[in-house]
Structure 1
Amino acid sequence: MLEWTGERIIPKELKPTNGMLLEHIARYYFAFPHVRGRVLDLACGTGYGSHMMAKDRKREVTEIVAVDNDADTIRYAEREYHHQKITYRQGDAVDPDLPDSLGLFDTIVSFETIEHVRDESAFMQNLERMLRPDGTLILSSPFGRGRGMPTSEPFHVHQLTPAEFAGLFTRYEQVEIYYQRGVVFEKPREGIRYFIGIAVCMKRAAEQMP
């Protein structure tokens, strides 16, 4: 049985009012209008978010491939959040062979992942390689002191600043960045401190690719 570590969310082990659980669920609800076609949920954790997408977007989604690097977590997801449109796979987000293994996607969702990744460039390259032209990437990250700076979170390599987060998406044609406060997403307002950013990015059409 999986144990909640503060990083992998296990809804069945938490109170419905748990703040971190509500924030995680809210990110998937935020993504719903953008989710279509063949979908990748990279760093899917226990699978509850993939299952939410499969149920809510059943008419718009053809397949969801849900990937996590932990074998026990994938087994838990297969058991607790089975759905006919979801395939759970064990995989490393920075593995250079991952795009060839998984193929192309119309939508890629990856929440609270990049702060765990040492090779940020390899992670972003894999996302770009797996996203179809005109596809949509939805990526979130907590904010912090910036690259190379220590963080109080034991599982985080570092936490990007808002400017560093925005700089991840320069190769995308359309980028909208929102800030999360609890279960609310909004454009930044003066005087408000935000702890989480979420970006919705569209890849250039094939004829516009360099």
Structure 2
Amino acid sequence: MVIGLLEWTGERIIPKLLKPTNGMLLEHIARYYFATPYIRGRVLDIACGTGYGCHMVSKERKRELTHLVGVDIDAETIYYANREYNHQKITYQTGNAIDPELPEKLGQFDTILSFETIEHVEDDLLFMDNLYRMLKPGGTLVLSSPFGRGRGKQTSEPFHIHQLTPEEFEELFVRFSKVEIYYQRGPTFEKPREDVRYFIGVAVCTK
């Protein structure tokens, strides 16, 4: 089952099959640790992958969390998440991040996590509209994305449709009442410095 999953799910992270020092694994885990303080109430992890992140934040914030919904487009991945990262406060289910009816299907959330997802969808503005509709007033969205040449331009990553520029990334959040932009460098997060080139942006947004 796991071997088959690795053969065709591209960038999905399976911690049990990676060395603890794997750079991609450390970056992914770091994003969930970064988001942990924002976890409260009803939570959505959109494109949750194999479920390790859902399980992490549910254990860390078990008092503040009432329910977490982990959604991924791939049924086999959801099957794996249910088997390996089951938790009494987590529900895993299949769903398409750019389904216009997704907000009606899932309802609203106090916190939404979206890590390394927007570069995989053709219509990033529809994706953002879904997230905005699913976030409760006063709720928090934590979203990350790698930077690149820009919307509609080819990338060197086989599983990425496009990668936004830092300017395009910031423009995604104009509707939110408060936005803080951070930059990820390996497992660390910081405000921008002039002498450093950043490849991943992380936005913390309040509706």
Query: Which TM-score tier does this pair reach, normalised by the shorter chain?
Result: over 0.9
Q: Give the alignment's TM-score, normalised by structure 1.
A: 0.95
- 1:107: which partner in 2? 111
5 Å-filtered alignment, 1:47-62, equals 47-62=51-66
1:169 aligns to what SS in structure 2?
A: coil
Aligned residue among 152, 158, 161 for 2:162: 158
Is the 2:125–2:172 contact (alpha carbons within 8 Å) kept by the matching residues of 1? no
Match of 2:179 in 1: 175
SS state at 1:145 partner: coil
Consecutive unaligned residues in structure 2, runs of 5 or more: none
Q: Summarize the alignment of residues 21-32 of structure 1 with structure 2, pairs less than 5 Å apart.
A: 21-32=25-36
Counterpart in 2 of 1:207? none
2:74 counterpart letter in structure 1: D
**Structure 1: how far apart are the matches of 2:192 and 2:138?**
26
Please, what TM-score do these two structures have when normalized by structure 2?
A: 0.96
Shift of 1:119: 1.1
1:14 aligned onto 2:12: no
Deviation at 1:105, TM superposition (A): 0.2
Of residues 44, 48, 61, the one that matches 2:48 is: 44
Shift in Å at residue 116 of structure 1? 0.3
CA shift for structure 1 position 104:
0.6
Partner of residue 91, structure 2: 87
Question: Is 2:204 aligned against 1:197?
Answer: no
| Counterpart position of 2:145 | 141
Counterpart amino acid of 1:58?
Answer: K
| Count of residues in Structure 1 that have an aligned counterpart in Structure 2 | 203
Q: Give the % identical residues.
A: 73
Whole-Å Cα distance in 1 between the matches of residues 66 and 125 of structure 2?
A: 29
Per-residue deviation, residues 81-124 of structure 1 (Å, max 9, x unmatched): 00000000100001011111111100000100000010112101
Cross-structure match for 1:130: 134
Alpha-carbon distance in structure 1 between the residues aligned to 2:65 and 2:185: 28
The one-letter code matched in structure 2 to 1:148 is G
SS at 1:44 equivalent: coil
Question: For residues 10 and 99 of structure 2, what CA distance do their matches in structure 1 show?
Answer: 25
1:146 Cα deviation after fit? 0.7
Q: Which runs of 4+ in 1 moved over 4 A?
A: none
AA aligned opposite 2:191: K
